[in-house]
Structure 1
């Protein structure tokens, strides 16, 4: 199986070398019930990849791969749902049958630095196992029964210089972005034989099946492109000052806006402008803005940050006219809804609120979400601490995302924010040349 990448006059070869199944080192067979939040999350795969330069620790890539397999097997004892299987449609539990995680090994004949410098975001797709990036209706792996999906898969990619890219694809049904990053960090510390390990906090959910639709529907990547934009802290400080001045001028001042708040506002404004221009600029592109809020640390009774599963809430509000695009509207509404979440006692209360909703209410919320641009922040998450014993990664990013999704991540030296943005092709052409966006890059 071979993918070919043509860049700057030479043909780079990315070749699948081997496939293996890695099982937990000790039996873990049990059932893991999905929470209400898990069931209402889309059946898509979160793709995260970390890049590492070559090191002299190993004599060969084979030694490195063998150690990664052994440490993954040990890690799966703690993250046992990751080695299980779940139905592809409307699952309510993970069958933790220890069937294991598919481990794909690949090689690329280019140096890592060349690959990172010359690649478009779509070129990252080949680094992930079985095309499991975001929405993927059919699993390509040969080891799973029809109608049954793996919970996670791994691919280790070796570059000509000795560099390596470690990629995971995690089913969103069993975890969110923080879960995926916690897993990678745990696996890395086991591989590096580092201590202390922070074990996952596994909650045992009661069996719940509401037959609600998925709140976050699977969006297509067809006709879309993903691009990465870097915003240094100095420019973000300028943007924060501008937003503060604009809100003071509006009579609704917002003091001390965060980097994520102001950047999300700017990106949304530019995205809606691009979509409006595509419609000949005659009609404002009425849509919505959605933030995902990690619930682990904002409830009255905080959950450990290592809690496994989906623990996020969608903060949604419309941007149906030009006024609602102003920062005093968007940022103040975000803060208002987040404050409401902070007043909730615990996850049991949140679950009861959702479980008591009518089917029609859930459908209405789902429709609002589907029509919105989605903004998710992984800033200040444990991203650049993923050290397998080879040093910290030079880059951590996501595979090409899905339509109208933007993910914010810290830069390697924490000196800014990387925005990974997916838009329709025509919108992206306008978006990436927006003068206001360029002013803060």
Structure 2
């Protein structure tokens, strides 16, 4: 059921700046009427491209191309007029102010997408993907978000929902009509099989979704090592910029220096840390302790060394993490030294950061974090932490249902948790009434004009 809101909203759909073309978008029941007030020839109420001159009283302001959407054929499900005007700041703001004066209201962030959701044009998973599409930092994140916007993979979660409804119905029938004990698929053993399949689907969706979020948000990558081994040089080489100060003086880096590098299928959030050594300098001590503390929170550790003396204490601290030992200053090592270092650990890569020779490392990173398989899965990918947390709740409830069935609890106890699971799935899709403040909060993280 479409919900047409009373007011008509307006916002720039492109940045208001000096450029060739700016786009202004209106959405609402009165979009055509409001725009016609600044034209001498009314727009046809149709899905078309129409050229018109814009006036303030009798003074022409601009000539623009109007793209019009009528009869719910727009993204928002309402009448929409998009004005492609000349891209001067003054021109764009003048047209917006004229339209506000004639009855439009300035849109809030994400309000166009919110109306599309409220009018049944997209579901909540698709709306979240729209924002992630805009915020994509690498090619794979872009592709994942584009699939989410299309809703192609949502069929799987709708199928899971149907399975939950079917199990609830079978259980409820068994409770209400105990004499009908021959209903197909209604024995505890048969229901257990279905619930375990649902559990596996939930588990895989959660795992893929967490990986997808990491793809875009970035893999927290800690660069650690002793002083003067080339940690800052490695950071600069990876970022291809002079982000960190590089000197021969030990202890130059005393706090974190950060940067981000975007590969095709993932992003790295790089953190260069203070060189780990024994020191009496109180400020340097704080930096070193912060370096050690952050090992626990890192997704990947680049442990930089420049000779055969690999600090065993540091290696012991990172042994249970994803790590690469990066042997820097390869150009200064003899063949015998390289051979000896190779024999010390299988996770070793040789580079020369100062000479920008880091291909071995970037190739290893691509091997470690190739997430292309996410595109091939038929499972939906949740693109927000909140949605993943909700699905984890559904998974926990499904696990409880399975455990209760295996213990031999009555069907009515099992059904209580299944009803809660169904409610969570409905909330994920946004297909039941949700609190107005919750809906507002979801869409306000979007950019203006979307």
Pairwise TM-score range, normalised by the shorter structure: under 0.3
Q: TM-score, normalised by structure 2?
A: 0.23
Q: Could you say which structure has the larger radius of gyration?
A: 2
Q: TM-score, normalised by structure 1?
A: 0.24
More helix by share: 2
**Greater relative contact order (Cα < 8 A, sep 6+):** 1
